[in-house]
Amino acid sequence: MSATFQSVSPIDDTVVWSGTETSQQQIQTVMETAAGAAARWRKSSLDDRIDVVRRYAKYIEANRQSISDLITREVGKLPWDAAAEVAAAIAKTELSIRALVERRGDEIVDQGSPRRTIRYRSLGVTLVLGPFNFPLHLPGGQIIPSLLAGNAVVMKPSDQATAVGQWIAAAWQASGLPADVFQSIVGRVDPAVAAIDSAHVGGVFLTGSRAAGQAIHRQLAGRYDVLLALELGGNNPLVVVGDLPSSEVASLVTFSAFVSSGQRCTCARRAIFVDGPETDRQIEATIELTKRLRVGLPADQPAAQIGPLISAAAANGLKRTYDQLLKLGCESVVDFKIDERRDNLVYPAIVDASSLAADALQALGDMEWFGPLLVLHRVGDIDAAIDLAQQTAYGLAASLLGGDRELFDRFVGEVGAGVVNWNRPTTGAAGALPFGGLGDSGNHRPAGFHAIDFCNDPIASLESESLPGDDPWSVAK
């Protein structure tokens, strides 16, 4: 019997979506019909696929306020943040079309005899497992290129963003996508497990935690015919070096750490300051700005800068992380605090790890958390800063504030991250660039502009209009 569940608003606990999980029997039907739809969709022209994708973008544009409001209501994003996500989702359509043409379009490599060509074949049925923090944009970044490549898509949104997932399904239907080419399943973990087990699945695309990625990797052990693309979390370092203005440093560090309530996989978790004449002022300004940030709900006036976490359970988990950091030897400089109005409305917190022993530093670097909590380090020189930045199993994002081109080039080469910025927040990512991590942050399948790369397979051909007319065995004489 299917389990029932609800998606509850983190703003006021109202029910945003209520229903039953997709059953295993229903999953089997969905995957079978998706396989049939994929065989038909693969034969459609690229122009037809592009036309549907562009109609999808127009649908979002025409309904951008309603979907923005739904994102705010279901996952608690502040209005400006939800609106920015909708804009990114619209922009993703043309970027995905361009990526297909530039990176995975059929190509004649050599017109000689024989002619040498590259073609691309779709995977069949792809399973997209979406997150709650960007419930429209991040699944779209995999759904759109997958559809353009000729695949059918089965999506399971986060159970905390089911209403947005249902909105996405309705949007594709309204855009004229043929029946069963896009389908949505709902629930917690079990429907995803059943869909991954299906013999019809050709690709599994996850945006989620390290633990979820490892579980899927184990589940697919031995099934090398299923392409797995993982975009996971990070313990992202931000290094500050040089006599930079303290106010600008504070703004970039706090934005990197606390934007979207710290619920971005690229948020800075560690800020590493290299000792210099301005370091005291830079750290003090960061602490003081953190204390002044407005924490509140989407309807608050003046507008909040940091909104609620996705749930009280998430807030409790972040508090356990904070306590664990203190047990490791960190010193609290901005205490963990929860607003009296909501048990998931968490104020940004900062701890200082500058005096930690080597074993504690390693343990800290391997931790993963998702919320407004920042660890400060103070080190003697840039060599120590880069060494400390490297001390993590993760490798998603990193940022360097200060330094020159030579230092930044060194930083890019040594820090071990897939998104490395200079004098910009760790959360800065461009749609025309790849997006993915190294180490425990991914499995060498960057999304963003490169998502198209894991949506189809290349086929190489040597082609002649007639038989060669000579004996190929002549080379053996």
Instruction: Provide the 3-class DSSP secondary structure of residue 165.
Output: helix
Determine the Cα–Cα distance for residues 36 and 112; give it in Å rounded to an integer: 38
Which amino acid is residue 52, in one-letter code?
V
Residue of 74, 85, 231, 278 marked catalytic: 231
- Which alpha helices (H) appear in 175-243, and where do they start and end? 190-197, 210-219
Question: Which of 85, 265, 368, 455 is flagged as catalytic?
Answer: 265
The verdict on whether 455 is a catalytic residue reads no
Query: Using the 8-state DSSP alphabet, how is residue 306 labeled?
Result: B
Helix (H, G, I), strand (E, B) or coil at 100: helix
Of the CA atoms within 13 Å of residue 294, those in its CB half-sphere come to 11
SS (H, E, C) 240-293: ECCCCCHHHHHHHHHHHHHHHHHCCCCCEEEEEEECCCCHHHHHHHHHHHHHHC
Judge if the upstream peptide bond of residue 139 is cis by omega within 30 degrees of 0.
no
| Rounded CA separation 445/425 (Å) | 23
Please state whether beta strands 236-240 and 268-274 pair in parallel, antiparallel, or not at all (unpaired). parallel
Q: Find where tokens 């920042």 sit.
A: 374
* Residue 195 to residue 89: CA distance in whole angstroms: 25
**Sequence-separated (6 or more) residues with CB below 8 Å from residue 168:** 136, 139, 140, 143, 155, 157, 184
DSSP structure class, residue 442: B
Cα separation, 472 vs 368, whole angstroms: 59
Backbone angles phi, psi at 286, to 5 degrees: -65, -45
Q: Give the largest CA-CA distance in the chain.
A: 88
Q: What is the CA radius of gyration of the chain?
A: 24
Q: Taking the CB of residue 340, how many other CB atoms lie within 10 A of it?
A: 7
Q: Is 107 a catalytic residue?
A: no
Among all residues, which ones are annotated catalytic? 231, 265
